[in-house]
Amino acid sequence: MIPSRTERLSGWGRHPVRECRVYRPEKVSELAQVLAGAPAGGVVPRGLGRAYGDAALNEGGAVVSHLRLNRLLSFDDETGVLECEAGVALGEIVDALLPRGWFLPVVPGTRHVTVGGAIAADVHGKNHHADGTFGRFVDEIRLLTPGRGMRVCSRRVEGDAFRATLGGMGLTGAIVSARIRLMRVESAWMSVDQAPTRDLDDALARFAGADAGHRYSVAWIDALARGRNLGRGVLLLGDHAPASSIRGEPFPRRKSGAHAVPFDAPALLLNRLTVGAFNRAYRASHRGKTGMMQPLEPFFWPLDAVGGWNRLYGRRGFIQYQFVVPPGAERALAAVLERAAASGRASFLAVLKRFGPAGEGLLSFPMEGWTLSLDFPVASGLQEMITAMDGVVADAGGRVYLAKDAMLNAETFTRMYPAADGFRAVKRTLDPGGVLTSSLARRVGLA
Amino acid sequence: MPERPRGTVLVAGATSAIARATAAELARRGHPLVLAARDTAEADAIAADLRLRFGVPARAVPLDALDFASHAALAGSVLTEEGDGFEGVVVALGWMGDAETARHDASEARRILDVNLTAVVSLLTPLADHLERRGAGFVCVVSSVAGDRGRQSNYVYGAAKGGLSVYLQGLRNRLFHAGVRVVTVKPGFVDTRMTFGLPGTFLVAAPERVARGIVRAIQGGPDVVYLPGFWGPVMRGIRAVPERLFKRLKL
């Protein structure tokens, strides 16, 4: 067996913190050794640790880091198909291939997510209404399973394993590599429109009106506004700028480097007043404008410019609560927003987006409807509030995002994810011994 | 972008984390690469990665460190294929072995000496002759601070690395007159499989940081470099302890 060490790990929300045995293979054969060794307490694959809660934690067991298995394996300049290992960060792909005119067809809110993590959480971006999830652009997954060795999974072959692995939270096997279809872009610039929204109804109506005309759309919501202002915010609409609209270099040389938050901010820093002031200032800076040119990276990953922004919520960490409710259940959106605002637990970020139809992944989060995400610093009483919100969401026929969740219980999970039984059946064939498990999996009853 | 064409570099032991990071630093500067390793599937993956990220030619060749007889043929085929484009070699062959076993089991001790010393000498012999004839290029070898002073905890590995450092001193002295640079790299603890989870490690450096130091050293400056640099003064201090005192320590 390869060496391991014990670490206290957390997700991006820094809550919960769990002691795990960490393996970090540098060769594919070493990854196979870890799975074959069936570490005590099981094992879960881990990438850059950007899931917020306990998806890549395994208290009393092991995690296997894919960060040294991050090789780009092949790229076809004609078709845009990239094959790479699971430990490659999406940002590395952008660095290597954006200068050649290729971009990922779906990116989440940070570039610091691995390909393995993007598949395991079947991540979405601001273009879900137009393009679906990351998984839609995955053609093939090489999956190392405890029960059936290396499986090459696609829509045609091993389709069950493929659909279980998209959004499968790493519980079907360790993703060794994947083939992903990239998208051609004419520039590294975005053309952006922004429009203030008066209230929630206004925001929803504007989404419905403007979505179809733009590849990317998202609304930032002032989560502190209540009553008739509930849901006021800013709607951002974006598209890749065509080369013809760029005066200078379409792919300028980019400089890297982020400003880091060097210490844990006192939790009080983000109190009602400061967050309220921030929200008003943000809104004021986003008066309606159209056709603004913006470099691609700050458009997709504004928070990556502040390294370690998760430390802003203080030592106890935070929860990012993201849920989706189907069309017609807009009341649930208002109910959760109202409850969050009334709780006085300042939310730094509230993001609203319209999802298109659900994809193929058995446990994928996105489904047609409205998704909202809110941040809450960890404090006493938070679990009770989240559990109540989970109930509202489940009653509305919606679900919460497992990649962000830290508090959902097994009973509510089953109501939210009707395909869970089908997932368990596939998992049993790939991992009959139950080697793959995680703190999340045990909490919601997936392992 | 490089202002002049960069020469091909052979990286031996190419699948180690230090070697991979060094190959990436060289590729970033435009050097074509030949990656020699026992595990050619891994070396192929690394070569593909370097081609895609940095746009340089990179290929893998099989290398069995302990099959000494095969080394001349490997060197010959690389030199034939690369011709005048061949610029130098980075050797990152290394294996810590099991220090406890090596105390009592001579075959383990011999294996440690063979991988860390004999194999490197065996591989460098034909390459050094070629570079000497050519009158240009470099040899860069990853030795270790462990070779600076024998300690009870890993003295067989230390002996191999110490022997390697002395070999490189002599080779440097010989090749200097031919205009060939010989660099000895002595890394401290580096965040690789070798040290992962190992008790007693401290100030562990990222392989990328060590790789930048290696490539800087190839380009010029001191012939023997400690990486990260603070290991220089640390090891001077350790070497300065009188033996009659040192032998009493539990290191």
* pLDDT tens-digit map of A86-130: 999 999 999 999 999 999 999 999 999 999 999 999 999 999 999
- Number of Cβ pairs < 8 A linking chain A and chain B: 48
Task: Name the residue with tokens 């270790």.
Answer: B144
A199: in domain: yes
Show residues of chain B in contact with A5, CB under 8 Å. Answer: 196-197
A318 with A233, same domain? yes
A176 with A89, same domain? yes
- Print burial letters for B185-218: b (CB count within 10 Å at least 16), e (below 16): bbbbbbbbbbbbbeeeeeeebebbebbbbbbebb
A194: in domain: yes
Are A24 and B196 a contacting pair at CB < 8 A?
Answer: yes
Task: Name the residue with tokens 């640079």.
Answer: B181
Q: Please report which helix (H) or strand (E) contains residue B170, including its range.
A: helix B155-176
Residues A64/A45, Cβ–Cβ less than 8 Å? yes
B212: in domain: yes
A200 with A349, same domain? yes
Among B52, B195, B208, the residue to mutate for chain A (most A Cβ within 10 A): B52
- For β-strands A72-75 and A81-85, DSSP reports them as antiparallel
Mean pLDDT of A372-382: 95
B251: in domain: no
DSSP A234-291: EEEEEEEPPGGG-SS-SSPPP----EE--SPPPGGGGSHHHHHHHHHHHHHTT-SEEE
Q: Tell me the catalytic residues of B.
A: 157
Residues A258/A235, Cβ–Cβ less than 8 Å? no
Are B48 and A72 a contacting pair at CB < 8 A?
Answer: yes
Are A4 and B197 a contacting pair at CB < 8 A?
Answer: yes
pLDDT in tens, B176-215: 999 999 999 999 999 999 899 988 888 999 999 999 999 9
Residue B107 CB contacts under 8 Å (≥ 6 apart), including other chains? none
A180 with A199, same domain? no
CATH number of the domain to which A379 belongs: 3.30.70.2520
Contact status of B193 with chain A (Cβ, < 8 Å): yes
Give B136's DSSP letter: -
A119 with A223, same domain? no
CATH number of the domain to which A162 belongs: 3.30.465.10
Where does the pLDDT of residue A349 fall: very low under 50, low under 70, confident under 90, or very high at 90 and above?
A: low
Are A68 and B197 a contacting pair at CB < 8 A?
Answer: no
A228 with A153, same domain? no
Structural domain harbouring B155: 8-246
pLDDT in tens, A158-217: 999 999 999 999 999 999 999 999 999 999 999 999 998 999 999 999 998 888 899 999
CATH number of the domain to which B76 belongs: 3.40.50.720
Beta strands in A137-270 (DSSP E): 138-145, 149-154, 174-181, 183-184, 189-197, 216-221, 233-240, 259-260
- Tally of domains within chain A: 2
Give the integer Cα–Cα distance in Å for A173 and B126.
46
Are B193 and A3 a contacting pair at CB < 8 A?
Answer: yes
B223: in domain: yes
Cα B216 to Cα A178, B209, B235: the distances in Å are: 35, 11, 21
pLDDT in the model for residue A155 = 98
Give B7's DSSP letter: P
Show residues of chain A in contact with B39, CB under 8 Å. Answer: 27, 29
Domain finish residue from A170, A185, A200: A185
Give the integer Cα–Cα distance in Å for A223 and A374.
8
A366 with A256, same domain? yes
Query: Which of A78-82, A198-202, A419-423, B220-224 has the weakest average pLDDT?
Result: A198-202
Task: Name the residue with tokens 């011994």.
Answer: A433
Cα B195 to Cα A17, A94, B13, B17, B202: the distances in Å are: 25, 31, 17, 11, 10
ipTM of the assembly?
0.94
Give the integer Cα–Cα distance in Å for A5 and A7.
6
Show residues of chain A in contact with B52, CB under 8 Å. Answer: 72-75, 96
Contact status of B45 with chain A (Cβ, < 8 Å): yes
Considering only CB atoms, A74 lies closest to which of B46, B48, B196, namely: B48
Q: How far apart are the first and last CA of chain A?
A: 24
User: ∠ CA(A37), CA(A38), CA(A41), 5° rounding?
Assistant: 140
A146 with A221, same domain? no
Give A144's DSSP letter: E
Contact status of B17 with chain A (Cβ, < 8 Å): yes
Is the entire prediction scored with pTM above 0.90?
yes
Q: How far apart are the first and last CA of chain B?
A: 47
A130 with A173, same domain? yes
pLDDT in tens, A5-50: 999 999 999 999 999 999 999 999 999 999 999 999 999 999 999 9
B3: in domain: no
Considering only alpha carbons, which residue of chain A is nearest residue B199?
A: A5
Residue A219 CB coordination number (10 Å): 26
Among A20, A22, A70, A72, the residue to mutate for chain B (most B Cβ within 10 A): A72
A196 with A167, same domain? no
A181 with A117, same domain? yes
A170 with A318, same domain? no
Are B52 and A4 a contacting pair at CB < 8 A?
Answer: no
Mean pLDDT of B234-238: 96
pLDDT in the model for residue A267 = 60
- Closest-CA distance, B140 to chain A, in angstroms, reads 23
Hey, which residues does A7 pair with through a beta bridge?
A20
A238: in domain: yes
- Tally of domains within chain B: 1
User: ∠ CA(B165), CA(B169), CA(B170), 5° rounding?
Assistant: 120
Structural domain harbouring A363: 189-407
Show residues of chain B in contact with A30, CB under 8 Å. Answer: 193
